[in-house]
Amino acid sequence: MELENTVAIITGSGNGLGMGIAKKMFAEGASLALWDIDFESVKRLAFELDHSGQRVLPLKVDITDESGVQSAAATTVDKFGHIDVLVNNAGISRHKPLEETTLEIWDAVIKVNLTGTFICCKALAPVMKKQEFGKIVNIASLGGRTGRPGVGVNYAASKGGVIGLTKLLAKELGPSNIYVNAICPGPILTDQTKQYPREVFDTWNAGRAVPKDGLPEDIGDAVVFLASRRSNWITGVSLDVNGGIFIA
């Protein structure tokens, strides 16, 4: 098992990719703090993974609320004693053409995807620095990497921002033995993507090299790698996990 004696926080883990990431990390032996604004969803998943409650802690957390994130970090340390991995997965989208993107829609997406990621990194960095070890995995997006049409300026900018933040933090936290990487998933059917018509979703897969839809668990496998000791000299990268839709 790749993640024995590892404690990981996964934000937005009650649904979609976060749930796939949680299942893969749990199967590799990690203990998990499942953070989500939707508490019922993480409570259900925690019970499904671990009836005893020993290895999984569900918490209601809004990642845009700095004091709430700090107190959830303290609760997580109290329960497990250390935090080795932070997976910044929680995110939202409101795809609109430029001229229909109101300031309100712009702010809402930037606040969760970019500011929320910043808040969680800031809250957990001191814990990891004290331990002199940590791994941060930020879930960015193909849209942030390529500026693919149709994903919305707010979404592309927020995820492009996550990629920039990842690079800078890799440099800033590297001396403390903290590794910071991003994953850029291609389109995967989840509650987030199901809000758009299926024909629109299909256009996002155009040109894909392999004839296979991506699953949340595929992102989970990539997170396990970046969270494990197998990636111990990798930092600051943005890993494309998209079936070859985009090949850099």
Ligand X SMILES: NC(=O)c1ccc[n+]([C@@H]2O[C@H](COP(=O)([O-])OP(=O)(O)OC[C@H]3O[C@@H](n4cnc5c(N)ncnc54)[C@H](O)[C@@H]3O)[C@@H](O)[C@H]2O)c1
Q: Which positions are annotated as active-site residues?
A: 155
- Shortest CB 222 distance to ligand X, Å: 12
> How far, in Å, CA of 8 to CA of 25, rounded?
8
Helices 16-27/39-49 angle, 10° precision? 30
Interacting residues with ligand X between 206 and 235 (CB under 6 A): none
Measured between its terminal Cα atoms, the distance across the chain in Å is 31
Q: Are 182 and 163 in contact (CB under 8 A)?
A: yes
* Amino acid identity for residue 83 in this structure: I
- 16 counts as binding ligand X under rule CB under 6 A: yes
Q: Which residue of 141, 166, 235, 238 would you call a contact of ligand X, by CB under 6 A? A: 141
Please report whether residue 30 would count as binding ligand X according to CB under 6 A: no
Contact between 239 and ligand X by CB under 6 A: the answer reads no
CB-wise, 108 or 234, nearer to ligand X?
Answer: 108
Do 62 and 94 form a contact (C-beta atoms < 8 A)?
no
Contact between 3 and ligand X by CB under 6 A: the answer reads: no
DSSP per-residue string spanning 195-219:
TS-HHHHHHHTTT-SSSS---HHHH
Q: Give me the residue label for tokens 């979703």.
A: 201
> According to CB under 6 A, which residues from 58 to 117 bind ligand X?
61-64, 89-93, 112, 116
Site string for ligand X, 180-199 (x = CB under 6 A): -----x-xx-xxxx------
Q: Which of 231, 219, 213 is nearest to 25 (CA)?
A: 219
Q: Does 243 bind ligand X (CB under 6 A)?
A: no
- β-bridge pairing 7-11 and 56-60: unpaired
Which residues have C-beta within 8 Å of that of residue 189, sequence separation ≥ 6?
A: 201, 213
Q: How far is the CB of 23 from ligand X (least distance, A)?
A: 13
Among 6, 31, 41, 181, binds ligand X (CB under 6 A): 41
Regarding 38 and contact with ligand X (CB under 6 A), the answer is yes
Q: Which is nearer to ligand X, 200 or 209 (CB)?
A: 200
What is the smallest separation between the CB atom of 107 and ligand X, expressed in angstroms?
Answer: 13
**Cβ closer to ligand X: 75 or 131?**
75
For residue 122, give every residue at least 6 positions away whose Cβ sits within 8 Å of its Cβ, in sequence order, or none. Answer: 66
Supply the minimum distance, in Å, between the C-beta of residue 123 and ligand X.
Answer: 13
**Secondary structure letter of residue 150 according to DSSP:** T
Name the β-bridge partners of 136: 86, 180
> Does 163 help bind ligand X (rule: CB under 6 A)?
no
Q: Give the residues lining the site for ligand X (CB under 6 A).
A: 11-12, 14-18, 36-38, 41, 61-64, 89-93, 112, 116, 139, 141, 185, 187-188, 190-193
